[in-house]
Structure 1
Amino acid sequence: MATSSSFVAHIGARYAGALFDLCMERGVVDAVAADLDTIAALIAESADLAAFLKSPLHKRDEQGRAMQALMFRAGVGPFATNFVQLLARNGRLFALPAALSAFKDLLAKSRGEVTAKAVSAEPLSFEQSEQLKSELSRLVGKTVTIDAKVDQSLLGGLIVRVGSRQIDGSLKTKLDRLAVAMKGNA
């Protein structure tokens, strides 16, 4: 079982690249992308599913049957279902979240888009998300999509990463900097 996140990311990227190439060849990129978004939402909504993907306790055929049933119930199409089945058969289901992320990155790159990862203390409203997209698009000169996550430990504010640039406007970071500054003056 994989323990290194870079190892898992590498495996996910390889599988995602193969799927992306196949989808481009067959002209089904948008349909498969929508199905993969559905799968990502299922994983995000269920801690049990996320744990199941990582668990070495289940045999590959058990994982395959369970995921087949879940894909059917969620209305996921054949390309994405076969992709998940391939990961299960090869004992690589733990890399599914990384593969979903890598596919999304490949899709954005092919469209000339940049994905910004935004972490906030509370979920962003539609208006906040649109304003953030607009400002970031102006800054980077490309269409920006937002991959939003919530981390309540930030207390307030926002951390945004676009490529190698990071903007940290979180309250937690500001308080940490203030504490360091106050220790320096003591």
Structure 2
Amino acid sequence: MATSSSPVSGVAERYAQSLFELARDEGSLETTEQELVQFQSLIDENADFRRLVESPAFTSDEQLRAIGAIVAAVGPSVLVGNFLKVVASNRRLFALPSIVRGFRQMAAAHRGEVEAEVVSAHALNDEQRRELASALGAYTQKTVTMRESVDPALLGGLVVRIGSRQIDTSLRTKLSSLKLALKEVG
């Protein structure tokens, strides 16, 4: 996983790596990933939980008590429950979304998968989705999972990001290039 200068990504990467190694060693990667996705959904959908995670106003004890109550209510595995309590007691809940993202990337790499972010001008139909996944799989030599979004400003075509690589076949980019070329000629 690429490192960056952001302190959140460094913290998140270390926590995600530790959890990944523990889950891998005990053979619970899939369960751990599913439970982390549940907690990410909880962050996304519950404003109170999101405030607990993001706000520096809560003390370590308050965060730990709240996470303890949530863990008791949700009932995740011992590994995930203890991990969340450690993150809370160390006042690192702010990094939880990045930890989840980092863990999922490590788990996908472990399974031989790669995630492609696909932005299209219009929603892809099932046949286009299958063809694109097949072409990207041939390109990367890995199983590709696609995260799709629609941006009508592209006008047509696609923008595909896989890791640090980007393939831009959008009509907007082609028109911008043509416009620039015409300015240089004239």
CA distance in 2, matches of 1:106, 1:38: 17
Equivalent pair of 1:154/1:170 in contact (CA under 8 Å): no
Aligned counterpart, 2:7: 7
Q: State whether structure 2 residue 33 is matched by structure 1 residue 70.
A: no
TM-score, with structure 1 as normaliser: 0.76
Matched ranges for 1:29-178 at <5 A: 29-46=29-46, 49-120=49-120, 129-146=129-146, 148=147, 150=149, 152=151, 154=153, 158-170=158-170, 173=173, 177=177
C-alpha offsets along residues 111-167 of structure 1, whole Å, 9 cap, x if unaligned? 222222334567766665444322210111111122x26465756654321122102
Q: Which amino acid aligns with 2:64?
A: G
Sort the Cα spacing of 1:172 and 1:98 in 2 relative to 1 into closer, same or farther, 3 A. Answer: farther
TM-score, with structure 2 as normaliser: 0.76
Equivalent pair of 1:154/1:171 in contact (CA under 8 Å): no
SS of residue paired to 2:58: coil
122-131 vs 98-107, which moves further: 122-131
Equivalent pair of 2:120/2:151 in contact (CA under 8 Å): yes
Q: Which amino acid aligns with 1:134?
A: S
SS of residue paired to 2:43: helix
Larger Rg: 2
CA distance in 2, matches of 1:73, 1:125: 39
Q: Which amino acid aligns with 1:91?
A: R
Structure 2 unaligned regions, length at least 5 = none
Aligned counterpart, 2:22: 22
Equivalent pair of 1:20/1:29 in contact (CA under 8 Å): yes
100-109 vs 40-49, which moves further: 40-49
CA distance in 2, matches of 1:47, 1:183: 50
CA distance in 2, matches of 1:103, 1:54: 19
Sort the Cα spacing of 1:53 and 1:174 in 2 relative to 1 into closer, same or farther, 3 A. Answer: farther
SS of residue paired to 1:56: coil
Sort the Cα spacing of 1:136 and 1:27 in 2 relative to 1 into closer, same or farther, 3 A. Answer: same
CA distance in 2, matches of 1:113, 1:170: 25
Structure 1 unaligned regions, length at least 5 = none
175-184 vs 72-81, which moves further: 175-184
Q: Which amino acid aligns with 2:102?
A: A
